[in-house]
């Protein structure tokens, strides 16, 4: 199995992955490779926003997440991975709340 080093287009994290895995991730995200955390965040973004807005697509979710990553990266005090973990935690917290919007 061929192992390649790839760099996340969002947060810049480097990972060594099999070419098979790289290809499958790229085909999921329109030719862009995202690390595990970023792809999770994009999927999460797409799920939550896509529910409210039908026209909200994968590209929008990726754009939103990339600008989120840029914001974190511009603040050297915050680690990207930590920021994302916090975001995911906050999101899952939101989901467990009863829906009050009717």
Residues of the shown chain interacting with Zn ion in the complex, contacts defined by CB under 5 A = 8, 10-11, 13, 35, 38
Residue 60 or 81: which CB sits closer to Zn ion?
81
Residue 37 or 96: which CB sits closer to Zn ion?
37
Q: Please tell me whether residue 29 adopts helix, strand or coil conformation.
A: coil
DSSP class per residue in 62-75: HHHHHHHHHHHHT-
* Nearest distance from C-beta of residue 37 to Zn ion, angstroms: 5
* Nearest distance from C-beta of residue 55 to Zn ion, angstroms: 25
Residue 38 or 51: which CB sits closer to Zn ion?
38
Alpha helices in the chain (DSSP H): 19-28, 36-52, 58-73, 80-96
Continuous segment of H or E residues that includes residue 5:
strand 3-7
* Nearest distance from C-beta of residue 38 to Zn ion, angstroms: 3
């Amino acid at each position: 199995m061929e192992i390649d080093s790839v760099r996340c287009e969002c947060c810049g994290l480097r990972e060594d992955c099999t070419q098979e895995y790289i290809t499958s991730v790229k085909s999921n995200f329109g030719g862009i490779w995202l690390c595990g955390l970023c792809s999770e965040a994009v999927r999460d973004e797409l799920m939550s926003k896509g529910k409210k807005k039908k026209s909200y697509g994968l590209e929008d979710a990726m754009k939103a997440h990339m600008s989120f990553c840029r914001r974190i990266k511009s603040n050297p005090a915050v680690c990207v991975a930590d920021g994302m973990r916090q975001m995911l935690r906050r999101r899952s917290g939101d989901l467990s709340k009863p829906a009050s919007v009717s």
